[in-house]
Each structure stands twice: as C-alpha cells, then as structure tokens.
Structure 1
Amino acid sequence: MEVSKATLQKAVANNIISEQQGAALYHFFQEESLHTPSFSFTHILYYLGGLIAIGAMTLFMNLGWEQFGGAGIVFISMLYAAVGLKLANAFASKNLIIPAGICATFVVCLTPLAIYGAQQWLGLWPHDNTVYRQFHTRIQWLWLYIELGTLIAGVIVVWRYKYPFLVMPIAVTLWYMSMDVTEFLVSEYDALYAHSFELHALVSMYFGLLMTLLAFWVDIRSRHTADYAFWLYLFGVIAFWGGLTSQDSDNELSKFGYFCVNLLMIGIGALLTRRVFVIFGALGSCFYLGHLASTVFKDSWLFPVALTAIGLGVVYLGVVWQKNENKITKKVRAALPKAMQELLEKKA
C-alpha cells in the first residue's frame, strides 16, 4: 500500500508515532519516491520527454534520413549515442536515477538505426524497397540481424548502468524477434505458407512463455534490488496470451482448457502482484464466458442464473479467503524455496 501524508497524520493522532517521527517518515518517503517511478508530474515530464526523444529515432523516423546514406546514419547515431551517454552520466552523478535511466535507454534504442546504417554502408542491406522506418511496422526476417545486435547492446548497457527502464527495449526486441523468427521459418519452408497464421500464433505463444519464465528468473535474481522484470513480464504475457488466444479450435474441451489457463494467469498475477497476468487472464476468461453465452448456451435461460450463482460463489470464496489468508499464506510459503519466499515477502 502507498503511505500518504494523511495516513501518517492518522498514525500521529492515534498516538502510534510522534509528530516528529511522522514528519521524518514523510520526508524519508518523499526522498525514496524520487527514485521510484510514480504518477507524479515530475515523473510524467521525465517519461514524456524521454519517450518523445526515443520515438523520434524509432517509431517516427521518416525517409529524410535515407539521404545521409549508411555512413551518415552511423555517424549521426554515434553522435546521438555519445550525447545520451553524457547526459546519463551527468544525471547519475546528481543521483537523478530516472532521467539517467531514460537517457541510457535512448542509447539502446539508437542501436537498430546504427546497425541498419552499417549494413547499408558495407553493402550488406538487400537492394529492395525496405527501409528502417518499416522496422516497427513490418514483420520481415531481415530484421533479425538488427534485433540480435540490439539485444547485445542492451545487455551491455544494462550491465553497465543497471537501470530497470533499460529492460524495456530488450523486451520489445524479444517480442519483435518472436514474429520475425516465424517469418524466417515461413520463408525457408514453402510447405508452411498455407499455415503461416497458425505458425505465428504457435511461435508467439511459446516465445512469450519463455520470455515470461525469463522474467520470473530475473524477478527472483533482482528481488533485493529494483524491478527489472516488469517489461519482460509485460511483453512476455502479451506474446503468450496473444498466441494462445489465436489458436484455432472447434473442441469445447480445448476451449475449457483455455479458460483454465486464464484462471491460472489470474492466480499467478495475484501471487506475484503482477497486474498484467490478471488483466489478460480476466480478458481471456470473459472471452470464454462470452463463447458459452453466445454459442453453447445460446437459448438457455438457466445459463445467466448459473453464472450469477458462480459469481456470488466467487465473492463468498473471497470472504473465506480473507478470514484465513494469513494462516494459508504462511503454510504455503513455508513449502516454497527460500528465494521465492523472499520475493513474495518483498511483494507483500
């Protein structure tokens, strides 16, 4: 829970802490919040400015840059990267962690442009109409070299600066790679052309699952420091859930299995305190219930009644859980590995 000034004032009024201790705690929490992303106006300005700068060199890149040629693109990218690193170091020296992380992330986001320019400069880029601005809009296997280079650069910069926001371009690149790897497989094997959509969905699902497992590993490893797993969880769950939802099945048992997986995602999200699992798990559950209402029990007046009873049962289950939460939680956590116990303690 978030501790506000009003909460501390209530603690003072109830003689839990003194007025001096309340003021000291409030000052301490304010200092700590400077290094933790929050919905404050200062942080909004940080991220808005940073995303505008990153977007200018990625999503909003226009064809005008093509006139500089490969060598020019590499030189300009290196110049921008030098400025970004200079700013990151300057902010870090002043203990401004969030703007330092944004500037370091800007440098990683320049890597695809620099690699594209280098390939053009060395004559390795295919002579077709494909240009850099399509990197974020078209699925093509030839982006794989750019993505691998970006991953290497991202890992190096994360190792050097250790800012959580730096994981964002790595997670996005892994997400892009899952789609481009599938395109590579489709282009290599003509027999797969007829099933390209199913293949995309399948690769997305398994790639997302691997990314989510990687996020969990990172979560365990960084349990005593910052939240490095957020972006990996976000794009891993998106890729996994998107691939899972795109699977084609006329089997009701398979559809029920889909519903169970989404319920499991909600449970995992509650356990790890990761909203992305809960959001997509709830969406998938609603899709399945909508399927039951519109197809399986289309003309049944008992279905809404049964669904209402189930909903009220879930509410009652919540009441029972609240009464026994501490007892159940202690027993379950005692059976988990120590690293997992520490992670859940931190989340709690």
Structure 2
Amino acid sequence: MKVTRKVLGDAVEKKIISSEQADSLFVFLQSQSQDSARFTFTHVLYYLGGLIAIGAMTLFMGIGWESFGGGGIVLISLLYAVIGLVLTHIFAAKNLAIPAGICATFVVCLTPLVIYGLQHWLGVWPDHSQYQDYHRYVQWHWLYMELGTLIVAVIVAWKYKYPFLIMPIAVTLWYLTMDISVMIAGDDFSWQIRQLVSLYTGLLMIGLAFWVDIRSRYKADYAFWLYLFGVIAFWGGLSWQHSDDELSKFFYFCINLFMIGIGVVLVRRVFVIFGAIGCCGYISYLAYNVFNDSWLFPMVLTAIGLLIIYLGILWQKHEKAITVRSRKLLPSPLRELLESKP
C-alpha cells in the first residue's frame, strides 16, 4: 500500500507510533523513494522531456539529415552523445537518478544513428533504405546497428546501473530477433513466421526478465522493461494466431488467465493488463459469435462473475495462511523475490 501522511497520522491517533516518529518515518520513506519512478508532475516532466529527445533522434529522424552525409551524421551524433554523457555525470553528482538515467539512455539510443552514418561514410550501406526505416521495417542489414547498440547499452548499463537503460536493450533484442529471422528465412518470411518469432521472442524475454528480477530483487527494478516488451511480444504473437478450432480459442483464454495469475504473484501489472484484454476478447467472441442467440449465456456469465467475487472473499480470508504454506514449497531465491514485493 502507499504510505501517506494521512496513514501515518491515523497510526498516531491510534497511538501505534508517536508524532515525532511519524514525521521521521515520512521523511525517511520520501528519501528512499525519490529515485523510484512514480506518477508525479516532476517525473512526468522528466520522462516527457527525455522521450521527446530520444524520439527526435530515433523515431522522428527525417531525411533532412541525409544531406549531412555519413561523416556529418557521425560527428553530430557523437557531439550529442558527449552532451548526454556530460549531463548524466552532472545529474548523477546531484543524486538525480531519473534524469541521469534518461540522459544515459539517450546516449545509447544514438548508437544506431552513429553506426548508420559510419556505414554510409565507409560506403558499405545498401542504397535502398534510410535510417528512418529502422523502426518501421524488418531488414537483415539493420543487424550491425542492433549488435552495436546492444554492446554500447550493456557497457553503459554496467557503468551507470540505471533501470531505464534496460529499455533500449529490450527494444533492440526484439528488433534483432525479427531481423535475424528475415536473414535466415529470406523470401519465405511470411506473416505467420513473424507471429511465431514474436511469440517465442516474448517468451525468451520474459524468462530473461524473471532471471533479472531474481538477481536484482534487493536492488532497483531492472526487469520492468524486459517484462513489458516481453509480454507485448508474446501476447501480440499469440493474439495474432488464427484458428477456427474452438479448443484452441479456449486454450488462448486459459493462457490469458494464467498471465493474470502470474502478474498477481509477481506484482507485474503488464501481465494482468494484457491477460485481462485477452480474456475480454475471448468472452466477447463467445457473446457475439458462439452464443449470440442464447438467453442463458448472460445469466451463466453473471453467475461466473459472482462466483469469482466469492472466491476473492475466500482468498482474502485465508490469504495469509495460504501464502505462508505455499511459499515454504518454493526455492529460496523465488521465495525471497516474492517476499520483497509489496
């Protein structure tokens, strides 16, 4: 739960802690959470500004930059990178972890542009594509840019250890698997293969995120971006699959229910959100395609909803006992990970 001044004030009224202890505890909790991403106006400004700067050099890069030539693109990008590193050090020295992490991420996101300009400069870039296509099309010749970005990202993340630096790593891993698949499949790279690649890439990224989550359970949340893009890739690849088999559609529904359960256990909202969207999609399919003319279906669905509410009441009543018993059966690292969650 979120600890506010009101919560601490209620504790003072019930004589659980003193007024001085409440004030000291509130100051301590504020200092502990100042570097954690929260939905405050300050943090919104941080991320809005950072994403605009990153987007300007990645998603919104126009063809006007081509007029600088390969060498000009490299030099300008390196100048931006130096500015980003200087700002990272300035913010880090002032204990402003979030803007420092955003500036370090900005430097990593410049890497594909630098490699693109370098390849143009050396005359080894294919003439049929431009940098602004990097985020829109799957092409095998993006591989050098992606591998270079991963190397720089790992080095910068190892140096500065800001969780936001995992974001370009997650995105680049997703891009990399798609482009490697194009290189292997060649002209046979169909939409069906794209879906399967996305699905299995998502599974691998979720597995990597879980491993990172366990390894960093007492540190910062380094797994967030891996979970986010892993779930998007997996759920997208899964949802794009087409089947006329009702059993397969029900299996899809069960997978989404399982995602909700995983999200609750690991306290990861991204699993719950996409799992809920998938479940709602399946129920909508049943309502409009399978039981469209049935008067009984809404009644059964209402009964199921009430049953789930009742199960929630039972769970709340026995949650502590069930949690204690079930966690005794888990491996020590996983038990410690779950105990570290709120």
TM-score, structure 1 length as denominator?
Answer: 0.96
Q: Provide Cα deviations, 1:62-109, integer angstroms capped at 9, x if missing partner.
A: 111111111111111111111111111111112111111111101000
Q: 1:271 maps to which residue? A: 265
CA displacement at 1:133 relative to structure 2: 1.2
In structure 2, what residue type is equivalent to 1:142?
H
Q: 1:337 maps to which residue? A: 331
Q: 2:124 maps to which residue? A: 124
In structure 2, what residue type is equivalent to 1:184?
M
In structure 2, what residue type is equivalent to 1:134?
D
Q: Provide Cα deviations, 1:22-53, integer angstroms capped at 9, x if missing partner.
A: 11111112222221111122212211111111
In the TM superposition, what are the counterparts of 1:307-322 in structure 2 within 5 Å?
307-322=301-316
RMSD: 1.2
Q: Does 1:88 align with 2:82?
A: no
Unmatched 5+ residue regions in structure 1? Answer: none
Q: 1:240 maps to which residue? A: 234
Q: Provide Cα deviations, 1:127-149, integer angstroms capped at 9, x if missing partner.
A: 22x11111112222221221111
Q: Does 1:21 align with 2:21?
A: yes
SS, match of residue 83 in structure 1 = helix
Q: 1:287 maps to which residue? A: 281
- Rounded to whole Å, the distance in 1 between the matches of 2:34 and 2:307 is 43
- Rounded to whole Å, the distance in 1 between the matches of 2:4 and 2:325 is 32
In structure 1, what residue type is equivalent to 2:273?
I
Q: 1:146 maps to which residue? A: 145
Q: 1:156 maps to which residue? A: 155
CA displacement at 1:293 relative to structure 2: 1.4
SS, match of residue 223 in structure 1 = coil
TM-score, structure 2 length as denominator?
Answer: 0.97
CA displacement at 1:224 relative to structure 2: 0.7
In the TM superposition, what are the counterparts of 1:298-309 in structure 2 within 5 Å?
298-309=292-303
- Rounded to whole Å, the distance in 2 between the matches of 1:293 and 1:148 is 47
SS, match of residue 39 in structure 2 = coil
More off after superposition, 43-52 vs 211-220: 43-52
Q: 1:197 maps to which residue? A: 191
Q: 1:48 maps to which residue? A: 48
More off after superposition, 166-175 vs 262-271: 166-175
- Rounded to whole Å, the distance in 2 between the matches of 1:181 and 1:286 is 34
More off after superposition, 106-115 vs 64-73: 64-73
In structure 1, what residue type is equivalent to 2:53?
A
SS, match of residue 17 in structure 2 = coil
CA displacement at 1:176 relative to structure 2: 2.1
- Rounded to whole Å, the distance in 2 between the matches of 1:36 and 1:225 is 11
Q: Provide Cα deviations, 1:221-279, integer angstroms capped at 9, x if missing partner.
A: 10010000000000000000000011111111111111110000000000000000001
Q: Provide Cα deviations, 1:128-185, integer angstroms capped at 9, x if missing partner.
A: 2x11111112222221221111111111111111000000111111222233333334
In structure 1, what residue type is equivalent to 2:34?
L
- Rounded to whole Å, the distance in 2 between the matches of 1:133 and 1:93 is 35
Q: Provide Cα deviations, 1:266-312, integer angstroms capped at 9, x if missing partner.
A: 00000000000001101111111111112222221111111111111
- Rounded to whole Å, the distance in 2 between the matches of 1:182 and 1:308 is 45
- Rounded to whole Å, the distance in 1 between the matches of 2:76 and 2:297 is 63
Q: Which runs of 4+ in 1 moved over 6 A?
A: none
Q: 2:290 maps to which residue? A: 296
SS, match of residue 239 in structure 1 = helix
- Rounded to whole Å, the distance in 2 between the matches of 1:101 and 1:183 is 33
- Rounded to whole Å, the distance in 1 between the matches of 2:47 and 2:274 is 25
- Rounded to whole Å, the distance in 2 between the matches of 1:83 and 1:237 is 34
SS, match of residue 219 in structure 2 = coil
Unmatched 5+ residue regions in structure 2? Answer: none
CA displacement at 1:216 relative to structure 2: 0.4
- Rounded to whole Å, the distance in 2 between the matches of 1:323 and 1:178 is 46
Matched positions, count: 342
In structure 1, what residue type is equivalent to 2:150?
L
